[in-house]
Structure 1
Amino acid sequence: MSKLTKIFVTKYALSSGPFSVMAETQNEGSMASWKGDGYWNYAHGKEFWLTEEEALADCERRRKDKLASIDKQAKKLKAMTFTIKELADGQ
């Protein structure tokens, strides 16, 4: 068993929120695993951080990116126009 390290998980920042947990890190710190609710959980790459400051910065980045995505989607929906197509019988 590897040494446990406190990590800050941000992969759920926009749904259930970020959290900290004691986890094993593997692959030179690019993956973390921890047991919770009877099963193993995993975080990879930029889904977890080793400091609270980095984790909070990632949460803000995720929020900013999501808001930009929503704005882009809203612009696309506002620009949409609809027409009714006349189909030939039997189509």
Structure 2
Amino acid sequence: MMKVGIVCEGRVAGEDAQVFEYFARRIAPGDTVKAFPQGTKPELFANAGDMAKTLFATGYDKVLVIWDILPRWNKPDGEVQDRNDLQPSL
């Protein structure tokens, strides 16, 4: 059994966290899954690295960072730019 943390956009007990936890439990029913919403996309990108370090330090085996690619105002570089924005915190 693995312990999986999901660092995501949104608020505690919000829709994003509930959906991500639900699907993760469906995919890996024997694993322990908990979402850790960080607020807005900029807040998520700023906090993701520290949150992942904390989760690994407290016994989590895997950490997923999940965010919405859109809206990025329909710019074609949305996913690439998001990864570039996230990378410094990791």
TM-score with structure 2 setting the length? 0.23
| Structure with the bigger percentage of helix | 2
| Structure with the bigger percentage of strand | 1
Higher RCO (C-alpha 8 Å, min separation 6): 2
